[in-house]
Amino acid sequence: IVLTQSPDFQSVTPKEKVTITCRASQSIGINLHWYQQKPNQSPKVVIKYTSQSVSGVPSRFSGSGSGTNFTLNIDSLEVEDAATYYCHQSRSLPWTFGQGTKVEIK
């Protein structure tokens, strides 16, 4: 299952809204998760099962979608949100990841 993220790069000012999309090559139900990776750190989950919040992750992160089209939203971006974001499908093995979207602070 191929996951294609859009855009590859986004430069955003603080407090702006960020939207990242992930398209799957076949239906994956809600088995789509989003990870944030900062430089020299391991990824950490920010949204699980398409839209479920994760303990400890700020409420400005939200997700939506189903089937083949998914979206990660970051409302009112903060400086600490600068990172690369990856979508990940666990519907079937082999797991696959999107190519990543780098979010930079202007």
* Least separation in angstroms between CB 16 and other proteins: 24
Q: 66 or 76: whose CB is closer to other proteins?
A: 66
Binding interface with other proteins (CB under 8 A): 29-31, 33, 35, 37, 42-45, 48-49, 86, 88, 90-91, 93-100
Q: Report d(CA 48, CA 59) in Å as an integer.
A: 13
C-alpha span between 22 and 70 (Å, rounded): 5
Under 8 Å CB-to-CB from 68, ≥6 apart: which residues?
23, 24, 25, 26, 27, 28
Closest approach of other proteins to the CB of residue 67, in Å: 14
Min. distance of Cβ 40 from other proteins in angstroms? 10
